[in-house]
A and B are shown apart, each in its own frame.
Chain A
């Protein structure tokens, strides 16, 4: 079974945090402690949306030392493919659900002398778990957290109350921007930078850091991509001897799964590399949307990440 071992859980709490964000707490169905995780880890939540199977990754935001339950926060995306809407509209306390085991693609580097964190909007969730972890282990950190306005700044109150000297909040609607250059110029050697938020913010902060001489191994980011929509296309699956059609709102990975092909995956957001697939023949254009393959690999066109990437053209044959 692809995606690793599964956790059977019950929804324990559903708590509206603000107009867009709702928090969910899961406990093990048999009441036993859940597997340990480290700050920055995510789980893939499986949803049965009235016959449509949806699998969305969400960062774990609860204290990693609390194994009595897992908490995630979900931002409602009214223009999305439906996963967050399903969570907001149909998930209620007592419901049974299936989660993947936690996977961490955004771990703290414990060798760092200091952890410098940048969060945009719902991108705050992995940092909540990381900050809880650092509070136990005594690590030094500094957080810069931007939200659209005070109402949408989820968890800002509890963060600033617990860590007044480390947490800095910014509000777009009050024309407050993070002075990235000034902040980056003041960090002691051995600082590692972590960013989770909208794509534009990640590009801006990482680009500024690199231009200022920060080395890539000290820069960490996480951004889960939604698969995105596009024109339907046909794919030949060489190993399975099948030809399938990927629908407009379906990902290539989801189309393979719907056809009964057990393809590997973990994050389903273009980040982890697990679903990397060899392209045997491509008469057309691969629409790469992942950030796993290098720009050179994207240009070569010999590999595709079926969880987020698509195809336009005549013939696509992949090794699956």
Chain B
């Protein structure tokens, strides 16, 4: 049965599961949950500048922020916006339990804005999606570091902040090729052993993600 869906309008991705992102836009809503890391703060500030009712949006906004994997910390600028609630977490794992509580208590009519690294966006999206909220309605804008969160398809361990391709799995030690194939459920790209046929024959790692 053909089904018409409207997804974020952007250029066609190289592979269907490769996430695509668009600029954050202010949308009408009763609450606004904004989750960002690193340079994602700039996307949030730009989104607010586009809002017709900036103060109204901020008065119903909950901003959660953590510095990026490259050390970029714009928490002062975000806190200065004057959102109803602002929370700075030291890391993404430290932020997620709080996000779970906030999402569980949220009502329909809430708008979600995610900005920053793909690791932050994917893990925050996973918490929101778990409630049954449609992922296509969660706004996502990639900013700052492009390092990847990768799952080893062999041992299932996840390596954060992968910069080179190939890289060594931080769990089982296999040499992994980083694919564009992405799992929303795991919030990670797929890493596949690159020297399975010829152990030790590993291409020189190249910095693909910065």
A145 to chain B, nearest CB (A): 20
- Cβ-defined contact, A273 with B2, below 8 A: yes
- B102-134 vs A, Cβ < 8 Å mask (1 yes, 0 no): 011011111100000000000000001001111
Query: How far is A103 from B2 in the complex, measured between Cα atoms in Å?
Result: 12
Minimum distance in angstroms from A37 CB to a CB of chain B: 14
Query: Which residues of the other chain, A, contact B2 by a CB distance below 8 angstroms?
Result: 273
Q: Is the CB of A218 within 8 A of B133?
A: yes
Residues of chain A lying within 8 A (CB to CB) of residue B52: none
A185 and B132 within 8 A (CB): no
Chain B residues within 8 Å of A189, by CB: 103-104, 106-108, 110, 128, 131, 133
Contact B5 A217 (CB under 8 A): yes
> Closest 8 A-B residue pairs measured CB to CB?
A215-B137, A190-B131, A190-B132, A213-B29, A217-B134, A112-B132, A189-B106, A187-B108
Contact partner, B107, options A111, A188, A216, Cβ 8 Å: A188
**CB-based contact A185/B131 at 8 Å:** no
14 contacts between A and B (CB under 8 A): A109-B132, A114-B132, A184-B108, A184-B109, A186-B107, A187-B107, A188-B108, A188-B131, A189-B104, A189-B106, A192-B132, A211-B28, A212-B109, A216-B137
Q: Could you tell me the distance between the alpha carbons of A105 and B128 in the complex, rounded to whole angstroms?
A: 26
In the assembled complex, the Cα of A278 lies from the Cα of B1 at a distance in Å of 19
Inside 8 A of B5's CB, which chain A residues have their CB?
217
Decide if B111 touches A213 in the complex (CB within 8 Å).
yes
Contacts of B107 in A (CB 8 A): 185-189
Cα(A185)–Cα(B133), bound, Å: 15
Taking the complex as formed, is A113 at the interface, i.e. its CB lies under 8 A from any CB of chain B? Answer: yes
Determine the chain B residues whose CB is within 8 A of the CB of A186 once the complex forms. Answer: 107
Task: Give the residue of B1, B109, B134 whose beta carbon is less than 8 angstroms from that of A185.
Answer: B109
- Cβ-Cβ contact count across A and B, 8 Å cutoff: 72
Residue of A nearest to B27 (CB): A213
Interface residues of B in 109-164 (CB under 8 A from A): 109-111, 128, 131-134, 136-137
With both chains docked as a complex, state the minimum distance between the C-beta of B35 and any C-beta of chain A, in angstroms: 14
Whether B132 pairs with A214 at a CB distance below 8 angstroms is: no
Query: Interface size of A by Cβ–Cβ distance < 8 Å?
Result: 28
Asked if A130 is an interface residue, CB under 8 A from chain B, the answer is no
A197-218, CB < 8 A from B: 211-218
B residues contacting A by CB (< 8 A) are: 1-2, 4-6, 27-30, 103-104, 106-111, 128, 131-134, 136-137
A119, CB-defined interface residue at 8 Å: no
Beyond known contacts A187-B107, A190-B131: 16 more, CB 8 A cutoff: A105-B1, A186-B107, A187-B109, A188-B107, A189-B104, A189-B108, A189-B128, A191-B108, A211-B28, A213-B29, A213-B108, A213-B110, A215-B133, A217-B5, A218-B133, A273-B4
CA distance A189 to B130 in the complex (A): 10
Contact between B30 and A111, CB atoms less than 8 A apart:
no
CB of A272 within 8 Å of the partner chain: yes
Are A212 and B28 in contact (CB-based, < 8 A)?
A: yes
Interface string of A151-186 (1 = CB under 8 A from B): 000000000000000000000000000000000111
Cα distance A246–B27 in the bound complex, in angstroms? 46
B4, B30, B128, B132: the one within 8 Å of A212 (CB): B30
Contact B137 A218, beta carbon cutoff 8 Å = yes
Contact status B108-A214, CB under 8 Å = yes
Task: Identify the closest chain B residue to A294 (Cβ).
Answer: B4
Query: Which residues from chain B contact A218 at a C-beta distance below 8 Å?
Result: 108, 133-134, 137
Closest to A212 in B: B109
* Nearest neighbor of B136 in chain A, beta-carbon distance: A217
Give the chain B neighbours of A191 by CB distance below 8 A.
Answer: 108, 132
Q: Which residue of B lies closest to A110 (CB)?
A: B132
Question: Using Cβ atoms and an 8 Å threshold, which residues of chain B touch A213?
Answer: 27-30, 108-111
Instruction: Write the chain A residue with the least CB distance to B6.
Output: A216
**Residues in B whose Cβ lies below 8 Å from that of A212:** 28-30, 108-109
- Closest CB-CB distance, B79 to chain A, in whole Å? 25
Residues of A within 8 A of B110 (CB): 189, 213
